[in-house]
Structure 1
Amino acid sequence: MIDIVTFQENIKKNIISNCYVFCGNDEQTIKDSIISLVSKFVDKEFIDLNYMQFDGNSLENFEPVINACQTLPFMSDKKVVLVYRASFIEDDKGDNGKISGDKDFNKISEYIGEVPSHCILILYDVFKGKRDKPGKRINKLSKNACVVKADKLRGQQLENKIKSLFDVRNKQIGRIELKAFCSLMDENNLSVIENEVEKLCCFTNEQEITKEDIKELFLKSNDDDIFDLVNPISNKRLNESLEVLNELIYRGEKINYILSMIERQFNLLFKVKIGIEARKSKTDIMKEINTRSDYAYDMFVSQSKKFTLKQLHRAIELCIKAEQKMKSSSVDEKTELELLIINAIAG
């Protein structure tokens, strides 16, 4: 059994198993790890043919999975077969009419030792409790599969891993600065963290890393987040707008809060646009939008130029209507926010 750090290192070294069993509390880390495997071996053009997924909770027998594994990949050396939420590898799962019982599990265990070389079979199970541990069934699978325990890196373990990423780049980082950097790494995706380490190393170049460098590079304000969302809207980039929205939601921002911040941003842009067209001074406009920051003012001016007054007025109306609809009916709030973005871009 290996941890997620060792798994990522093995992938880089091209140490690959024919079968992986992921287990742990952190499903997002498991998904990110699977994505790294799929992206390494499956060409995007043929992903529908060479990447198959099965819901472990609905499998009545393992035959469809075996058939998928036995089928040769199309225009590729490898194919990936995933069984997600494979609760049948837990020791205590009850009889729900799906895969259950030692007899069924023994068949699965035997096949795992026979997975053909052209296939990578992946099963994963998300533990229900923080104290859950791999049981007898998972330990049995470990004889023929690479079992990966996927939990979030925390505390000293996370610090040690990130420190090693700086070390391999011959970049020194102080203990206090390291703790500050780690505290900002919310996503437990080692690939993302490594990219952020690389970014900080490039940003500081040959200079010593300071807390100010970390704050300037990574500590974003709410205004910055909403600017990142409104900016692709203003440039008519729908996919990017929706990606930023999903990122904000994934980080835990509430739909109502995001909507109120978008409405606030459009109101400020509307005031700036009116001020500029009325030839008001920079000082007067900054007073009207209640900011003393030259950076914020320049940001608002730059963004306001991408809209007409009519477009900004319509965007504000769309925000108000979306807010009223969310409060007065049981609509899907995320869908309403997505429609708001689509309509704002179309306008």
Structure 2
Amino acid sequence: MAYHTDYKTDEEKLSEEIRLKNLSNVYIIYGNDTYLKEYYCDKLVSLSYSGDPFFNFQKFGYDAVIQDVYDAVNQFPMMSDSKCVLLDDYDVFSCSQEDFERLCRLVGEVEDGCVFIIKFDYIDFDRKKNSRVTKLSKAVEKANGKIYNITHRTKQQLTKMLIKSAKNRGVELFETEAAYLTERVGDDLSVLKNELEKLCLYRKTGKITKEDIENVCITDMNASVFDYVGCIVEGNVSKALKLLDKMFFMKTDEYSVFYQICSVYHDMYRALAAKRAGKQKKDIASDFSYPSNTVFRIDRANRYINRFDFSKIEKSYDCLIKTDKILKSYGANAREILEQTTVELAAILLGD
């Protein structure tokens, strides 16, 4: 896998490529910051093709037929000199060996005039000691492609961004209050931007205070989502829906809520697998590179896994993958979809 060793982060490198319009033919975009992945992927797409997007931009999802992707990549641009193909969240771990091998070959056959982007959201690409991750990464590197791990920004970067954004809205936000905002809300950029918007509308002019943040902003969504999943595990659908409604009422981005729910299910799957293998919390934290400030997630996951077996976890993943596909479709009502998903996830645990 491509690991970058100089002082620049992967986000900074990708941002510079985009600014200079110095694009590669192949990209893998993955990481834990959903908002930034989507932001930079949109930037790449917009720079990668010209002319009519109907002909020169094709997007494929997790259930893509690799032959269709192959055909799209090898098709000449229509009335233009450039085109883009996006493969979004394709499950490289469960696809057939034939399809996987063909994908590896395809990244080495992308011609000038086409940019092929492979982006991972729900699919956890950042896995240790996985042969498919290694092989696909080597194929991309051999083709002089780029692999970027887009992670949450540091507290210092977030603080600087929040202060600048508030100033652009005519409101003062000082470093102490900006740091407190990140502590209270978390480091998910989409959530932070939403909460800052609410603060600026609330304050209108002058200085944002700690009291303003406490009165207006939600607490870290991770805590709310863990409580929500806990209600599902307990079979308390009514309370789970109320917690979901509360997150919507606080103007939390529906997609951020969904991806946090998926993250909790990742934690539970890992905890269940570790339990079967006789592993401890420290082993999970080490094997899956949990930062020290997120190890508490494993403790919470361990509280829930007694209601699960691998069959129920698999059915839950199928439900979440289906939800992800629907959410990405045009005109989807995210709130209604997540409410339906809540009921389906609870029903899985109630089944035999």
Larger Rg: 1
TM-score, length basis structure 1: 0.46
